[in-house]
């Protein structure tokens, strides 16, 4: 029976934290006095480079850990289905005129979804890519739970009531949903699209009614894609 290579998991997490913590906390921007250089509407997106942490950590560990398989690809088992899953949030939020930080309109909507998707691709390459596969000796629920706890702590969000109570529940619940989706589709683009939507709906530490309607529309669209293009089953 395969064993978990815990030293590689610790290496992965150490690299992910070392790169991401200064960006997730904003320390590096304060230290370099860079916050004022960004337009107000975009300052809530300064955490985006933190996705390099899980991405680089995964690449390093894949390079040296020869026992962990790489079971997830960009498009998984269905290129067209994965692209449709990614396009649905873009279409829904753009149609709704996604508004944040006082900057309305189609341009911001498209930019916000694209940035969220690129960010999520970086994160998911680590969490649902390398780490979930590195934990394969555990059963699925154990993997999703452990990844969820590590993923939550990695965000270093401990400043208010929401971040201590609701946010960890969102992250851990999302770990189960995204973990299952990764196993089902083997598509990095699918899980990144789902991650991006979760992020866009909760960036204000709440879900507004308008965003809630958009979220429901996206889920219905994903269900339709799933019915029209059923995923190939993996053992």
Q: Mean pLDDT over residues 78-105, rounded?
A: 76
The arithmetic mean of pLDDT across residues 89-113, rounded, is: 70
- 102: Cα separation from own chain's centroid: 25
Q: How far is CA 2 from each of CA 69, 127, 135, 137, 185, rounded to the nearest angstrom? A: 12, 20, 10, 6, 23
- Label residue 37 by pLDDT band (50, 70, 90): low
* pLDDT grade for 227, boundaries at 50, 70 and 90: confident
Residue-wise pLDDT tens digits, 193-218: 999 998 888 776 445 556 677 788 89
Highest mean pLDDT among 40-44, 77-81, 135-139: 135-139
In this predicted structure, the answer to whether residue 26 has a pLDDT above a threshold of 90 is no
Q: Give the tokens for residue 140.
A: 């699925």
What's the mean pLDDT when you consider all of the chain? 85
User: What integer is the mean pLDDT of 83-110?
Assistant: 74
Percentage, residues of the chain above pLDDT 90: 54
**Mean pLDDT, range 151-178, rounded to an integer:** 91
List the structure tokens of 54: 């899980």
Supply the pLDDT for residue 41.
60
pTM to 2 decimal places: 0.87
Supply the pLDDT for residue 231: 60
Buried/exposed code over 20-32 (b: 16+ C-beta within 10 A; e: otherwise): bbbbbbbeebeee
pLDDT at 210: 60
Compute CA 21 distance to the chain's CA centroid, rounded to the nearest angstrom.
Answer: 16
Q: Name the burial class of residue 117, with classes exposed (0-12), middle (13-18) and buried (19+) by CB atoms within 10 angstroms of its CB.
A: buried
Is pLDDT above 70 for 42?
no
Q: What are the pLDDT digits (tens) for 54-90?
A: 999 999 999 999 899 899 999 998 899 999 999 999 8
DSSP string, 42-97: GGGGTTGGGGHHHHHHHHHHHHH-SSS----BSSTT-HHHHHHHHHHHHHHHHHHT
Q: Which two tokens stand for residue 204?
A: 């204000």
HEC per residue, 106-158: HHHHHHHHHHHHHHHHHHHHHHHHHHHHHCCCCCHHHHHHHHHHHHHHHHCCC
The radius of gyration of the chain from alpha carbons, rounded to an integer in Å, stands at 18
Q: Above 90 in pLDDT, residue 106?
A: no
């Amino acid at each position: 029976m395969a064993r978990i290579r815990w030293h590689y998991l610790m290496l992965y997490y150490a690299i992910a934290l070392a790169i991401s913590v200064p960006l997730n906390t904003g320390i590096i921007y304060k230290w370099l006095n860079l916050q004022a250089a960004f337009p107000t509407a975009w300052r809530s997106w300064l955490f985006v480079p933190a996705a390099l942490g899980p991405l680089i950590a995964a690449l390093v560990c894949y390079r040296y850990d020869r026992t962990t398989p790489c079971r997830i690809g960009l498009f998984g088992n269905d290129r067209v289905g994965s692209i449709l899953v990614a396009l649905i949030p873009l279409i829904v939020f753009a149609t709704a005129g996604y508004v944040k930080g006082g900057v309305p309109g189609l341009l911001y909507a498209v930019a916000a979804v694209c940035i969220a998707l690129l960010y999520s691709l970086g994160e998911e390459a680590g969490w649902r890519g390398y780490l979930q596969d590195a934990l394969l000796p555990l059963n699925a629920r154990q993997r999703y739970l452990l990844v969820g706890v590590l993923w939550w702590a990695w965000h270093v969000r401990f400043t208010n009531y929401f971040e201590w109570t609701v946010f960890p529940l969102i992250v851990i619940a999302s770990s189960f949903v995204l973990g299952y989706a990764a196993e089902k589709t083997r598509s990095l683009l699918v899980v990144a699209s789902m991650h991006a939507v979760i992020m866009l709906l909760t960036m204000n530490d709440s879900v507004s009614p308008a965003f809630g309607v958009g979220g429901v529309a996206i889920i219905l669209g994903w269900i339709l894609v799933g019915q029209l293009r059923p995923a190939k089953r993996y053992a």
